[in-house]
Amino acid sequence: SQQGEEDPQALSIQEGENATMNCSYKTSINNLQWYRQNSGRGLVHLILIRSNEREKHSGRLRVTLDTSKKSSSLLITASRAADTASYFCATDGGGADGLTFGKGTHLIIQP
Amino acid sequence: DAGVTQSPTHLIKTRGQQVTLRCSPKSGHDTVSWYQQALGQGPQFIFQYYEEEERQRGNFPDRFSGHQFPNYSSELNVNALLLGDSALYLCASSLPTGELTQYFGPGTRLLVL
């Protein structure tokens, strides 16, 4: 079963604009991670935010985490055509049961 | 530094057959996890191997089994294939402790006819 739900399911914006994706989850977490997947291939790790952190930056990426609302957001600034991909949030409950992924947001950057 | 590799890239099988998928972890990693990703869905955890033992398992039937070798590479076996087993199978490697950042391979796309 899926732990998280990304919102929106699909997002289309113009190159240069900012893209924001949201993720909600159900149970307590050790950390939350965001991954990118191009054209149904392997996933690439983007950023990890721990449960005691509220915001984290990496290049053009900004992630926030609100554990009281069990939600996270991923902001991609100054989008590029190469950012076109599916983005997944994944929660780590701290056990040895792998990551629990949401269904993803499909992002399309139009030139 | 080699990343995670998987073979084969694509596979076509018929219902009732058996399939074996292979994975080599990223250099320095000794923990391997397998995920199934159906079309339009996020990956779902199948199981994880560490020190040649299955450490944890997701909600998958016994038809799904695995193995880890002394060199940390791993196999995923699926018996009595069903049409619903058609999916992208992803292998990910990680360090055994600490934060579970996963490094994914390119996946094996399995089609069951």
Q: What is the pLDDT of residues B22-61, one digit of tens each?
A: 999 999 899 999 999 999 899 999 999 999 999 889 999 9
CA distance to partner chain A, nearest, from residue B55 (Å): 7
Please spell the DSSP secondary structure of B37-96, one letter per residue.
E-TTS--EEEEEEETTEEEEE-S--TTEEEEE-TTS-EEEEE-S--GGG-EEEEEEEE-S
In this model, does residue A8 exceed pLDDT 70? yes
Confidence (pLDDT) at A98? 78
Long-range contacts of A43-51, Cβ-Cβ distance < 8 Å, separation of 24 or more: A43/A88, A43/B43, A43/B90, A43/B92, A43/B102, A43/B104, A44/B104, A45/B101, A45/B102, A45/B103, A45/B104, A46/A74, A46/A87, A47/A74, A48/B99, A48/B101, A50/B99
Q: Testing the interface with A: which of B100, B102, B103, B110 to mutate, by most A Cβ within 10 A? A: B100
Q: Which of these, B112, B94, B98, lies nearest to B36 by C-alpha position? A: B112
Q: In chain A, what's the furthest Cα-to-Cα distance?
A: 42
DSSP structure class, residue A9: S
As a whole number of angstroms, the distance between CA B69 and CA B89 comes to 19
For A60, the token pair is 């053009």
Give chain B's largest Cα–Cα span.
41
B59 interfacial to chain A (CB closer than 8 Å): yes
pLDDT surpasses 60 at B79:
yes
B47, B38 in Cβ contact below 8 A? no
- Over 70: is that where the pLDDT of B77 sits? yes
Question: Do you know the residue count of chain B?
Answer: 113
pLDDT at B81: 98
Cβ contact, residue pair B90, A100, below 8 Å: no
Mean of pLDDT values over A82-100: 86
How far is B106 from B86, CA to CA, in rounded Å?
A: 16
In this structure, the number of other CB atoms found within 10 A of the CB of residue A42 comes to: 19
Query: Is residue A79 over pLDDT 90?
Result: yes
Interface of A with B in 24-83 (CB under 8 A): 30-31, 33, 35, 40-45, 48, 50
Give me the pLDDT at residue B1, please: 62
Question: Does A84 touch chain B if contact means CB atoms closer than 8 Å?
Answer: no
